[in-house]
Protein backbone atom coordinates (compact mmCIF):
# COMPACT_ATOMS: atom_id res chain seq x y z
CA UNK A 1 0.00 0.00 0.00
CA UNK A 2 2.92 2.26 0.45
CA UNK A 3 3.60 2.00 -3.27
CA UNK A 4 0.04 3.24 -3.99
CA UNK A 5 0.44 5.97 -1.38
CA UNK A 6 3.69 7.02 -2.93
CA UNK A 7 2.11 7.20 -6.41
CA UNK A 8 -0.88 9.13 -5.08
CA UNK A 9 1.41 11.53 -3.25
CA UNK A 10 3.46 12.07 -6.41
CA UNK A 11 0.29 12.80 -8.37
CA UNK A 12 -0.97 15.28 -5.74
CA UNK A 13 2.41 17.03 -5.58
CA UNK A 14 2.52 17.16 -9.39
CA UNK A 15 -0.95 18.69 -9.52
CA UNK A 16 -0.04 21.29 -6.86
CA UNK A 17 3.17 22.20 -8.69
CA UNK A 18 1.30 22.38 -12.02
CA UNK A 19 -1.42 24.64 -10.59
CA UNK A 20 1.23 26.84 -8.97
CA UNK A 21 3.12 27.21 -12.26
CA UNK A 22 -0.08 27.96 -14.19
CA UNK A 23 -1.08 30.56 -11.57
CA UNK A 24 2.35 32.11 -11.77
CA UNK A 25 2.25 32.29 -15.58
CA UNK A 26 -1.26 33.79 -15.59
CA UNK A 27 -0.17 36.40 -13.02
CA UNK A 28 2.93 37.27 -15.05
CA UNK A 29 0.87 37.62 -18.23
CA UNK A 30 -1.65 39.86 -16.43
CA UNK A 31 1.15 42.10 -15.14
CA UNK A 32 2.75 42.24 -18.59
CA UNK A 33 -0.59 43.20 -20.18
CA UNK A 34 -1.13 45.95 -17.62
CA UNK A 35 2.35 47.33 -18.23
CA UNK A 36 1.80 47.13 -21.98
CA UNK A 37 -1.56 48.88 -21.78
CA UNK A 38 -0.09 51.64 -19.60
CA UNK A 39 2.71 52.07 -22.13
CA UNK A 40 0.30 52.31 -25.03
CA UNK A 41 -1.86 54.79 -23.13
CA UNK A 42 1.17 56.91 -22.24
CA UNK A 43 2.42 56.81 -25.83
CA UNK A 44 -1.00 57.89 -27.11
CA UNK A 45 -1.10 60.77 -24.64
CA UNK A 46 2.38 61.89 -25.68
CA UNK A 47 1.46 61.73 -29.37
CA UNK A 48 -1.70 63.75 -28.76
CA UNK A 49 0.22 66.36 -26.78
CA UNK A 50 2.85 66.64 -29.49
CA UNK A 51 0.19 66.88 -32.20
CA UNK A 52 -1.72 69.58 -30.30
CA UNK A 53 1.41 71.59 -29.50
CA UNK A 54 1.25 73.29 -32.89
CA UNK A 55 -2.09 74.77 -31.76
CA UNK A 56 -1.53 75.21 -28.02
CA UNK A 57 1.46 77.44 -28.65
CA UNK A 58 -1.01 80.20 -29.60
CA UNK A 59 -3.03 79.94 -26.38
CA UNK A 60 -2.42 83.23 -24.57
CA UNK A 61 0.19 84.31 -27.11
CA UNK A 62 0.13 87.80 -28.59
CA UNK A 63 1.03 87.95 -32.28
CA UNK A 64 0.70 90.48 -35.11
CA UNK A 65 -2.05 90.49 -37.71
CA UNK A 66 0.55 89.46 -40.27
CA UNK A 67 1.30 86.37 -38.19
CA UNK A 68 -2.44 85.65 -37.82
CA UNK A 69 -2.75 85.52 -41.61
CA UNK A 70 0.26 83.18 -41.65
CA UNK A 71 -1.42 80.88 -39.11
CA UNK A 72 -4.59 80.75 -41.23
CA UNK A 73 -2.52 79.75 -44.26
CA UNK A 74 -0.39 77.27 -42.30
CA UNK A 75 -3.41 75.40 -40.96
CA UNK A 76 -5.50 75.67 -44.14
CA UNK A 77 -5.44 71.88 -44.59
CA UNK A 78 -5.86 71.03 -40.89
CA UNK A 79 -9.19 70.09 -39.38
CA UNK A 80 -9.48 73.20 -37.18
CA UNK A 81 -11.50 76.41 -37.16
CA UNK A 82 -9.63 79.70 -36.90
CA UNK A 83 -11.70 82.67 -35.79
CA UNK A 84 -10.42 86.22 -36.10
CA UNK A 85 -12.07 89.13 -34.30
CA UNK A 86 -10.62 92.32 -35.73
CA UNK A 87 -12.77 94.58 -33.55
CA UNK A 88 -15.43 94.99 -36.21
CA UNK A 89 -16.66 91.41 -36.21
CA UNK A 90 -15.62 87.80 -36.26
CA UNK A 91 -14.69 85.71 -39.29
CA UNK A 92 -14.18 81.94 -39.45
CA UNK A 93 -11.47 80.42 -41.61
CA UNK A 94 -10.75 76.85 -42.77
CA UNK A 95 -13.59 74.99 -40.94
CA UNK A 96 -16.87 76.08 -39.38
CA UNK A 97 -16.70 76.21 -35.60
CA UNK A 98 -20.12 74.74 -34.94
CA UNK A 99 -19.13 71.11 -35.49
CA UNK A 100 -16.09 70.97 -37.80
CA UNK A 101 -18.03 68.94 -40.37
CA UNK A 102 -17.99 71.62 -43.05
CA UNK A 103 -15.16 73.57 -44.62
CA UNK A 104 -15.66 77.33 -44.72
CA UNK A 105 -17.25 78.43 -47.99
CA UNK A 106 -14.83 80.43 -50.16
CA UNK A 107 -11.99 80.31 -47.63
CA UNK A 108 -9.48 81.78 -50.11
CA UNK A 109 -11.89 84.62 -50.91
CA UNK A 110 -12.36 85.37 -47.22
CA UNK A 111 -8.61 85.31 -46.70
CA UNK A 112 -8.13 87.68 -49.63
CA UNK A 113 -10.73 90.04 -48.08
CA UNK A 114 -8.88 89.84 -44.75
CA UNK A 115 -5.78 91.12 -46.54
CA UNK A 116 -7.57 93.93 -48.43
CA UNK A 117 -7.32 97.29 -46.73
CA UNK A 118 -10.70 98.96 -46.23
CA UNK A 119 -12.69 95.71 -46.05
CA UNK A 120 -14.73 95.05 -42.89
CA UNK A 121 -12.84 91.83 -42.08
CA UNK A 122 -9.41 93.37 -42.81
CA UNK A 123 -6.67 92.02 -40.54
CA UNK A 124 -4.34 94.95 -39.95
CA UNK A 125 -0.81 93.52 -40.21
CA UNK A 126 0.59 95.60 -37.32
CA UNK A 127 -2.33 95.09 -34.90
CA UNK A 128 -1.63 92.77 -32.00
CA UNK A 129 -3.93 89.76 -31.60
CA UNK A 130 -4.29 87.54 -28.55
CA UNK A 131 -4.73 83.83 -29.23
CA UNK A 132 -6.97 81.42 -27.38
CA UNK A 133 -7.71 77.76 -28.01
CA UNK A 134 -11.08 76.12 -27.56
CA UNK A 135 -11.63 72.40 -27.02
CA UNK A 136 -14.61 70.19 -27.72
CA UNK A 137 -16.32 69.61 -24.37
CA UNK A 138 -16.98 65.92 -25.03
CA UNK A 139 -13.72 64.81 -26.69
CA UNK A 140 -11.21 67.35 -25.37
CA UNK A 141 -9.93 67.80 -28.92
CA UNK A 142 -8.80 71.30 -29.94
CA UNK A 143 -11.37 72.54 -32.44
CA UNK A 144 -10.73 76.26 -32.61
CA UNK A 145 -8.08 78.94 -32.33
CA UNK A 146 -9.53 82.38 -31.68
CA UNK A 147 -7.49 85.52 -32.36
CA UNK A 148 -8.91 88.73 -30.90
CA UNK A 149 -7.44 92.14 -31.65
CA UNK A 150 -6.16 93.82 -28.50
CA UNK A 151 -8.85 96.20 -27.28
CA UNK A 152 -11.63 94.41 -29.19
CA UNK A 153 -14.45 92.76 -27.28
CA UNK A 154 -14.63 88.99 -27.69
CA UNK A 155 -18.11 89.21 -29.18
CA UNK A 156 -17.26 91.66 -31.95
CA UNK A 157 -18.07 95.33 -31.77
CA UNK A 158 -17.06 98.69 -33.09
CA UNK A 159 -13.53 99.03 -31.72
CA UNK A 160 -11.17 100.94 -33.98
CA UNK A 161 -7.98 99.22 -34.92
- Cβ 111 vs Cβ 69: under 8 Å: yes
pLDDT attached to residue 156: 40
CA distance readout (Å), 124 to 78, 94, 135: 24, 19, 27
pLDDT attached to residue 144: 92
Cα 90 from chain centre: 23
pLDDT attached to residue 157: 39
pLDDT attached to residue 132: 95
**Confidence class for position 160, pLDDT limits 50, 70, 90:** very low
What's the number of CA atoms in the CB half-sphere (13 Å) around residue 152?
25
pLDDT digits (tens, 9 = 90+) for 140-150: 888 899 999 98
Q: For residue 145, what is the enclosing H or E element? A: strand 142-149
Tell me how far apart the alpha carbons of residues 127 and 28 are, in angstroms, rounded to a whole number.
Answer: 61
pLDDT digits (tens, 9 = 90+) for 69-82: 999 999 988 888 89
Amino acid sequence: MSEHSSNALNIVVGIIIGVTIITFVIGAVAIALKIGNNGVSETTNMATTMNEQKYTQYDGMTITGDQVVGVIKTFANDHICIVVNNGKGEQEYNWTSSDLTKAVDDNSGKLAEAQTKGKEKYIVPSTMYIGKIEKDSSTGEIIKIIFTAEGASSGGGDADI
